[in-house]
Structure 1
Amino acid sequence: MIGGGAAGFFGAIAAAEACPRARVTLLEAAREPLGKVRISGGGRCNVTHACFDPAALVQHYPRGGKALRGAFTRFQPRDTVAWFRRRGVALKTEADGRMFPTTDDSATIVDCLVRTAEAAGVQVKTGAAVTAVVRDDRGFGVQLRTGGMLRGDRLLLATGNSPQGHRIAQKLGHTLEPPVPSLFTFNVPEPALRELAGVSIESAQVTVKIADQKPLTQTGPLLVTHWGLSGPAVLKLSAWGARALHDCGYRAIAQVNWLPAQSPEQVRQILQQAKTDWGKRVVRAAAPPTIPLPRRLWNYLGDRAQISPDQRWADLSKTQLNRLLQELTQSQHAVSGKGVFKDEFVTCGGVSLKQVDFKTMESRVCPGLYLAGEILDIDGVTGGFNFQSAWTTGWLAGRAIATFR
């Protein structure tokens, strides 16, 4: 097994538990395994998502959903929850469906995987970078950077988005869909917006307009940061638009509807009612009660609508009211680049899914080779979906390896 991440550990454990007599060795280039597991969810580890219907689950994967449909009937989030429960780790579900260990500590998950692997007899070798893999009539030869070669009759490649893993897969005959970043934030070079850093909205609708492309829209929590826009709504957009945004150099227009629960006409009526009822009040002092926006954001939108700081509702012209309505429901922001989502670097791209049998995760072009996790052209939106595809594909690969003939 090459790759000591979520998919690699799950695959190694599944193989060792299903075939106790097998000799299972897990190779990890880093000094410590499970690096992404450790930092996931701000150190809490977003293990999976409480979506237990495979047909609904696959809708959260911009790439790979169709291939995963059958795989999720064999191992899905409910199975993940049960797997960890049997090993003494309870998971909890948050309001948005994300599932974390009840300890809120990723070390709980790391320790569980390491402990379970050890109990199953998996030999974990860290600092074991692989430089090459050869396939011959005796199986596989794995060349280590430190010297020497390990041999085995079956091999799991679970190297994530590692360029070295991609090179190994290509040399073994696989086609690679070019990797590009997914799950990233939007850089918006607008000083006034960046001054709102820390402002969060429970629900906003964000639409990305890219030249010659159909607009993409997502609704969800939105966060203003010191570099632009983030939060689940933006991260989902970045996943669905990963290739299109990459191809345009991450230059696009982000349109924000800050009040998606209300129609533009309803918002117009609220503004007109405020003009009637609050004639003597200053417009930018506070938003009407039925417009649930933070005062800093309301003031910023008023400035964009060219409403002066001391202007009263009674003095608001029809043109100004229309501009305010536009800022509330169709605020336009130029995106000039991307950031990263904390330390969680996800890509789309990888080994072509047509070259993998998703019943077993065995390569269709290199018998005895199995692939799992992010090395495949699979990626999900934020919320535990990427880990779930790693658990599922790793488990399927490990079980198939254990029954290899």
Structure 2
Amino acid sequence: MGGGAAGFFGAIACAEANPQLTVYLLEKTGKLLSKVRVSGGGRCNVTHNCPTVTQLVQHYPRGAKQLKEPFRQFGAPETVAWFAKRGVQLKTEPDGRMFPTTDSSETIAQCLLDAARRAGVRILTSTSAERIEPLPGGGFALHLSGATAQVMHVQRLLVATGGLPKSEGYNWLRTLGHGVVEPVPSLFTFNVPESPLKDLMGVSVPLARVVLAGEKLDYEGPLLITHWGISGPAVLKLSAWGARRLHELNYTGTALVNWIPSFTEETLRQWLHTFRADNGRKTVLSNPLFGLPQRLWRSLAELAGVGAETRWSELPAKLQNRLIELLLRMPLAVRGKTTFKEEFVTCGGIPLEEVNMKTMESRLVPGLHFAGEVLDIDGITGGFNFQAAWTTGFLAGQALSRTSVPVVG
């Protein structure tokens, strides 16, 4: 159940491995592969260039340990090969993200739709299971509503409904005996309503470090200034690693931004001492340093109290100290979060100790399998959540194929 990445991959893997089966894919909305289509700004960040399992698991705040064996069976190289076999070539960006060479998410969506149809998967849209009833002799009765209102009997079932933002969304799985790790958001940007940088919307730096003051949370990466606060990979990845702690803090705190993380305070002071000796006649505001954008540099210098005509040779030690502080530890008062585009990701879901990670089958309900974000697995931005969906969907589909009666994905 679920017409997203994990559901499609599971259904395809099952139908291809055992063509004798009747495989149904149920999607409660009228849209298939919605997240695939919006991912990566419409380009679809399929996976990440991580040839080894050791590299790959480092990017999962939740599920890293449990994903080691699944990734050995079907990791990033296998994903690349799977799409290549079906006519879709992937390319690697300088930062490791992998996209289709067409730079269009429709390429990936169409590949999955074509593969499902070729394998004989029967796709039912606007159809949801209101209730799952385990049957005494094995299998399940699915009480469907929507366009296909009926009771469907199946032997095995794959739940790939994605991450659910509210705990009560998992109640139908709780009735089957499963526990649920309470869901909280992951991958979000920081709202800074009183930001002194509001006028710099759209300005970005290729490398900054964001630290959450008073917490053991920090991350380096590109940073983008927005009209509501700060975004970019540095913030998104920090939000993923700190998802539960930030939820506990009600998304409030102080983010300290280091705009030049290659410097320590000592090395920065030494560098400026030499620079001032050689460039004393240059005005501070008009000559940005460290490769920072002109508008950002000017704003930081003005916030430090530097005047428009102040030359480096005239800069008082007090103002230089303020500038150093803003360069290395600029405080921004975080007051809330904003979901990153339409790519909602949750931290939480079905506990992994309740799942056989070799087959994705429930340890509590025989014949019930899980894949994708419904599990307590989430990765940072960069193609890692899709990779977890491909992997868990593939393994679940392989396991589902080892039966002789209708299967639902």
The TM tier, using the shorter chain, reads: over 0.9
Contact 2:14/2:401, CA 8 A, preserved across alignment:
yes
Distance, in Å, in 1 between the alignment partners of 2:339 and 2:302 is 29
Q: Deviations over 1:43-82 (max 9, x none)?
A: 0000000011111211100001111011100000100000
1:190 aligns with 2:194: yes
Alignment of 1:84-99 (within 5 A): 84-99=83-98
1:238 aligns with 2:242: no
Find the counterpart in structure 2 of residue 103 from structure 1.
Answer: 102
Contact 1:8/1:394, CA 8 A, preserved across alignment:
yes
Find the counterpart in structure 2 of residue 248 from structure 1.
Answer: 249
Q: Deviations over 1:363-405 (max 9, x none)?
A: 0010100000000000000000000000000000000111248
Corresponding pairs, count: 399
One of 152, 155, 160 as aligned partner of 1:158 = 160
Displacement after TM superposition at 1:361 (Å): 0.3
Distance, in Å, in 1 between the alignment partners of 2:150 and 2:74 is 36
**RMSD between aligned residues:** 1.3
Displacement after TM superposition at 1:249 (Å): 0.7
Find the counterpart in structure 2 of residue 308 from structure 1.
Answer: 307
- Given residue 348 of structure 1, which amino acid in structure 2 is its aligned partner? C
Distance, in Å, in 1 between the alignment partners of 2:160 and 2:402 is 19
Distance, in Å, in 1 between the alignment partners of 2:335 and 2:344 is 20
Distance, in Å, in 1 between the alignment partners of 2:62 and 2:243 is 10
- Given residue 261 of structure 1, which amino acid in structure 2 is its aligned partner? S
Distance, in Å, in 1 between the alignment partners of 2:208 and 2:252 is 21
Find the counterpart in structure 2 of residue 148 from structure 1.
Answer: 150
Matched residue SS, 2:399: helix
Q: Deviations over 1:6-44 (max 9, x none)?
A: 000000000001111011000001112100001000100
Distance, in Å, in 1 between the alignment partners of 2:14 and 2:335 is 46
Instruction: Tell me the TM-score normalized by structure 1.
Output: 0.96
Distance, in Å, in 2 between the alignment partners of 1:268 and 1:327 is 13
1:299 aligns with 2:286: no
Moved more, 119-128 or 142-151: 142-151
Alignment of 1:171-190 (within 5 A): 171-190=175-194
Find the counterpart in structure 2 of residue 229 from structure 1.
Answer: 230
Contact 2:208/2:234, CA 8 A, preserved across alignment:
yes
Displacement after TM superposition at 1:167 (Å): 2.3
Contact 1:184/1:339, CA 8 A, preserved across alignment:
yes
Q: Deviations over 1:87-113 (max 9, x none)?
A: 000000000000000000001011010
Structure 1: tracts of 5 or more residues without a match: none
Displacement after TM superposition at 1:191 (Å): 4.4
Distance 1:76 1:66, change over 3 A: same
Distance, in Å, in 1 between the alignment partners of 2:74 and 2:169 is 25
Distance, in Å, in 1 between the alignment partners of 2:267 and 2:388 is 41
Structure 2: tracts of 5 or more residues without a match: 405-409
Displacement after TM superposition at 1:262 (Å): 2.5
Find the counterpart in structure 2 of residue 206 from structure 1.
Answer: 210
Contact 2:195/2:229, CA 8 A, preserved across alignment:
no
Alignment of 1:244-323 (within 5 A): 244-288=245-289, 291-323=290-322
Alignment of 1:331-370 (within 5 A): 331-370=330-369
Matched residue SS, 2:222: strand
Q: Deviations over 1:199-257 (max 9, x none)?
A: 110111111125xxx32111111111111111001100000000100111100111111
Q: Deviations over 1:262-302 (max 9, x none)?
A: 332222123223332332332111223xx110111111111
- Given residue 149 of structure 1, which amino acid in structure 2 is its aligned partner? V
Q: Deviations over 1:322-366 (max 9, x none)?
A: 111111111111111101111100010001111000010000010
Distance, in Å, in 2 between the alignment partners of 1:298 and 1:215 is 28
Percent identity between matched residues is: 53
Moved more, 162-171 or 248-257: 162-171
